[in-house]
């Protein structure tokens, strides 16, 4: 297991996705609708991706690969990775992360729609 360390941008994005999902859930329950919204589904996918990342960063479902357009926040020589929260969706969400700063730690750099 890895401990997740949050950069401010990633934490803000996660909190925003969570707030939108909760607001959507409350609205849906008031209207007595059974089908979950896109906001709820997106948050569920991002949350699952983070769980998989913490347990096994090399999990095949994450489709983790090196990403070259971001600098490692602790050591510019080290690699930054991209993991898929969604796939084959317009604006599919990605999670950008790196190992560190300590052992068994993963730093979440950003949670964003595919650039």
pLDDT single digits (tens) 39-82: 999 999 999 999 999 999 999 999 999 999 999 999 999 999 99
Give this prediction's pTM: 0.92
Q: Return d(Cα 111, Cα 96) in angstroms, integer.
A: 6
Task: Map out the domains of the chain as residue ranges.
Answer: 3-113
| Interval 80-97 mean pLDDT | 93
**Number of neighbours of residue 34 by Cβ within 10 angstroms:** 6
Q: What is the pLDDT of residue 115?
A: 66
For the cut 80, the answer to whether the pLDDT of residue 11 exceeds it is yes
What is the DSSP code (8-state) at residue 109?
E
Q: Return d(Cα 83, Cα 57) in angstroms, integer.
A: 9
Locate the DSSP E strands across the chain.
Answer: 3-6, 65-67, 80-84, 93-99, 105-113
SS3 of residue 22 by DSSP: helix
What DSSP element (H or E) covers 55? helix 38-55
Q: What is the pLDDT of residue 114?
A: 82
Pick the CATH number of 3-113 from 2.60.40.10, 3.30.2310.20, 3.90.1150.10, 3.40.50.720: 3.30.2310.20
For the cut 80, the answer to whether the pLDDT of residue 14 exceeds it is yes
The confidence band for 107, taking pLDDT boundaries of 50, 70 and 90, is very high
């Amino acid at each position: 297991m890895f401990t997740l360390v949050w950069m401010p941008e990633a934490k803000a994005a996660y909190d925003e996705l969570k707030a939108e999902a909760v607001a959507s859930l409350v609205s849906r329950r008031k209207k007595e609708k059974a089908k979950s919204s896109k906001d709820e589904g997106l948050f569920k996918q991002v949350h699952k991706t983070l769980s998989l990342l913490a347990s096994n960063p090399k999990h095949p479902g994450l489709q983790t690969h090196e990403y070259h357009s971001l600098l490692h926040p602790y050591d510019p020589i080290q690699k930054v990775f991209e993991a898929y929260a969604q796939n084959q969706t317009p604006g599919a969400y990605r999670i950008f992360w790196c190992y560190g700063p300590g052992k068994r730690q993963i730093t979440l750099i950003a949670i964003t729609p595919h650039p």
